[in-house]
Amino acid sequence: MTHRIVIVGGGAGGLELATRLGRKLGKRKQAHVTLVDANLTHIWKPLMHEIAAGSLNSSADELNYVAQAKWNHFEFQLGRLVGLDRENKHIRLAAITDEHGKEILAERTMPYDTLVISIGSKTNDFGTPGAAEHCLFLDTRAQAERFHQQLLNQYLYAQASSETAAPIDIAIVGAGATGVELAAELCNTAQQLVSYGLNRIRPEDLRITIIEASNRVLPVLPERIGEPVAQQLQKLGVRLMTGAAVSSITEEGLTTKNGEFIPAKLKVWAAGIRAPEFLANLDGLESNRINQLVVRPTLQTTLDDNIFAFGDCAACPMSGEDSRNVPPRAQAAHQQASLLVKSVMARLKGEALPEYHYKDYGSLISLSRYSAVGNLMGNLTGNVMLEGWLARMFYVSLYRLHQRALYGNFRTLLLIISDHLGHTLKPRLKLH
């Protein structure tokens, strides 16, 4: 019987893995590759802040899983993982319903020989009172679009009202990459909306505050990256509150642990990650305190050789004497997907599996059209600091590399040309 490979999660890593295995194994009928995801389309998660600000139209940049499966010789199944039976080697998928609650697909099981779990992560609000009720998150396309619509509604209301427009206060919890990139993108949005005639709210009336518990911006990155980012944000008028942990959130705003109140109509939580809760009780597989599945250097789960996990939902040890886990970054998921292509091939041949060794190629932070800051690390470049236009070009290239892995060289080139033409024919901001 043909070996059945089931990949759960169509994020950047899972989709790249399914695409490459489909080309290598599915096309030659050497294995049956199935990708499972709860959505019909894919959006690269690092773009969520652009969708929220309206500078990216998600409908234009989405990838359809059904079409991708057809083009790359794998099968796509719509579903959400809710259970696992390791003894009988099958997963359980929840029933799918439409917007009226009518069942489209019944709950069902799916057999596997090799199971790969790559379902990503979600924002961790650390149980902060009021966060879940009053904050917006940017984990999914729907959440990002909800933020964009709420922001746009504020401008549309102000434009139609005869009253003097009130400033819009936005609070962003977390000065990591998502928080600072969203703040810069919102500054650009404020200027773009005025240029399109929504001028009752001036750019300076979009008042953005970033609240960060640690003592600096971008705390997980080198300080030499965080410092110029902080300077640029302050130049754009963004208020930075570092060393300020949020204690509670209400509809009116946020309160820090030292008692300071920050008023905000729109509140975004962009601090911390955790894997989905159900992974903590997935048929006895070992997990850590943030629900990540614990894996060995081969990316196999510690208690089952037939189940692999990678990306943000996996706790993978760093190589050598470093006791930390691999950081939850897009480059790690891409590297692990590349390794798992080799692993699956070796598994089918009965050979020993390779081990994953994380390679840090640096970090790049986009500050919308204003700038970008980061460093590149590699054998040829060493550790090179980048800022400005050149850093921005390298940042854009990361998305193009993701597209290349999914579409190939020729189709990616066509996408680049299409995007360039689109900028001359369409608004620079999503206005609906």
Domain with 163 in it: what CATH number?
Answer: 3.50.50.100
Rounded mean pLDDT, 149-165: 89
Structural domain span for residue 85: 3-121+275-349
Q: In this predicted structure, what is the pLDDT of residue 234? A: 96
pLDDT-derived band at 418, boundaries 50, 70, 90: confident
Q: In this predicted structure, what is the pLDDT of residue 162? A: 75
Domain end, chosen from 239, 255, 270, is at 270
The b/e string for 225-237 (b: 16+ C-beta within 10 A; e otherwise) is bbebbbebbeebe
Do 336 and 392 lie in one domain? The reply is no
Reply yes or no on whether the pLDDT at 96 is more than 70. yes
Q: At what angle do helices 12-21 and 65-72 cross, to 10 degrees?
A: 30
Q: In this predicted structure, what is the pLDDT of residue 425? A: 66
What is the rounded distance in angstroms from the CA atom of residue 269 to the CA atom of residue 170?
Answer: 11
Do 130 and 228 lie in one domain? The reply is yes
E strand intervals along 250-404: 253-256, 261-263, 266-269, 273-274, 293-294, 300-301, 304-309, 314-315, 362-367, 371-378, 382-387
Domain assignment of residue 357, yes or no: no
Do 182 and 112 lie in one domain? The reply is no
Domain end, chosen from 241, 270, 299, is at 270
Q: In this predicted structure, what is the pLDDT of residue 378? A: 63
Reply yes or no on whether the pLDDT at 130 is more than 70. yes
Do 138 and 229 lie in one domain? The reply is yes
What is the rounded distance in angstroms from the CA atom of residue 208 to the CA atom of residue 170?
Answer: 5
Q: In this predicted structure, what is the pLDDT of residue 361? A: 87
E strand intervals along 156-309: 168-173, 206-212, 239-242, 246-249, 253-256, 261-263, 266-269, 273-274, 293-294, 300-301, 304-309
Structural domains counted in the chain: 3
pLDDT-derived band at 180, boundaries 50, 70, 90: very high
Do 193 and 318 lie in one domain? The reply is no
Do 163 and 249 lie in one domain? The reply is yes
Reply yes or no on whether the pLDDT at 388 is more than 90. no
Do 248 and 133 lie in one domain? The reply is yes
139 vs 395, residue with greater confidence: 139
Q: How much is the pTM?
A: 0.92
pLDDT-derived band at 379, boundaries 50, 70, 90: low
Do 30 and 111 lie in one domain? The reply is yes
Domain with 10 in it: what CATH number?
Answer: 3.50.50.60
Query: Please, what is the average pLDDT of the chain?
Result: 92
Do 266 and 280 lie in one domain? The reply is no
What long-range pairs does 383-388 form, CB within 8 A, spacing at least 24?
385/224, 385/225, 387/228
224 vs 76, residue with greater confidence: 76
Reply yes or no on whether the pLDDT at 66 is more than 80. yes
